[in-house]
Amino acid sequence: MMLLLVVVVVPAAWCEADHLRAYEVGGVTDLDNLVLWCSHHHHEKRRPGVQVLGNVADLRLRLANGTVVHCPPGGHHQI
């Protein structure tokens, strides 16, 4: 069995703020509904078949191929 761990560190200044629950469907603009994404994962989350999992304290993306990407608030993404 092989385990691949990739850690990406992105400074907050390079991140993009986004609503977890979209503003257009009633998502509020407050700290419980706002997260910082690196540009890549911000755009990745909009691809067909990608799901946002968790909340601001335990943020993850499930990619269309089933891979789960952990995106913790400290800015260290783990694949």
2 in a domain, yes or no? no
Q: Tens-of-pLDDT digits for all 79 residues of the chain? A: 555 555 567 777 888 889 988 899 999 999 888 888 888 888 999 999 999 998 888 889 999 999 998 887 655 444 4
Measured CA to CA, the distance from residue 39 to residue 15 in angstroms comes to 6
57 in a domain, yes or no? yes
Q: Phi first, then psi: what are they for 10, rounded to 5°?
A: -125, 120
Measured CA to CA, the distance from residue 72 to residue 28 in angstroms comes to 21
C-alpha 56 chain-centroid distance: 9
- Please answer whether residues 38 and 10 qualify as being in contact, where contact means their C-beta atoms are separated by less than 8 angstroms: yes
Q: How many structural domains is the chain composed of?
A: 1
55 in a domain, yes or no? yes
Residue 71, amino acid: C
Range of the domain at 18: 7-78
42 in a domain, yes or no? yes
